A and B are shown apart, each in its own frame.
Chain A
């Protein structure tokens, strides 16, 4: 499977990659986007199986990426990995069709719990 990791923080992308490996998902193909626009473009051009996106990114936020993908008829599996988590954000994510909402700081156990059912 191909997994797209979208986060404007290079550090956080690296930590997400490492945590995916620690949780046993290192064999999947991992690709990265450094902002929302790039995530949107890569979600279309690279056709990943799953997108893990930050919420707060310059230019285009994660929720905007998800909404625009859905508006374009793209129903790729998409979820958030973010330091921000409020009930209204979770509601917006659910309404837009997000599969999961992981809050930073996160553990490999949390990744396993969320991604095992999705990635098998």
Chain B
């Protein structure tokens, strides 16, 4: 059974800020600027699933350009040196880091999956019987980036279509 989630938008925003400070914008010159637009487009996404005391998904989605930029920052290389493998690995790691931090705020007994990366828009993702419960939506150097939480509607299929 899923419990009421105790991770709110502010918590998520704080985790995201830490990722920017540590890896994506250590010099503090290019933060993620909030747009509050949950329908902003994406071209690639990654996710981790959490099961147990809370069940759902954490999804990182962005444009390909923002993903390339993230990979360049993570791997300390130029954007034009970033391979598709670099891009996938970094997207996976981003979902993993945020997912791990979310898990730390959940009641005991939650399990984190290994990350999944899809080089296609978040809108192609299917999280059955889940709904988006919170998210951080913004632009990074003009490119869309979002991190959202999807909660499963419960093990008893209540509310399922």
Contact = CB atoms under 8 A, between A and B. Distances in A.
A86 B74 contact: no
Instruction: Classify the secondary structure of B's interface with A.
Output: helix
A8 B93 CA distance: 10
A105 B76 contact: no
B56 interface: no
B96 A9 contact: yes
Contacts of A12: 93
Given A15-B74, A18-B76, A86 B108 contact: yes
Contacts, number: 60
Nearest to A87: B108
A120 to B, nearest CB: 25
Interface residues of A, number: 22
A83 interface: yes
Interface in B78-105: 86, 89-90, 92-93, 96-101, 103-104
Contacts of A103: 100-101, 104
A38 interface: no
Instruction: Classify the secondary structure of A's interface with B.
Output: loop
Nearest to B71: A11
- Most chain A CB neighbours (cut-off 10 Å) among B74, B97, B98: B97
13 contacts: A8-B114, A11-B71, A11-B86, A11-B93, A12-B93, A56-B114, A58-B114, A82-B100, A83-B98, A84-B112, A103-B101, A105-B21, A107-B22
Interface of B: 18-19, 21-23, 71, 74-76, 86, 89-90, 92-93, 96-101, 103-104, 106, 108, 110, 112, 114
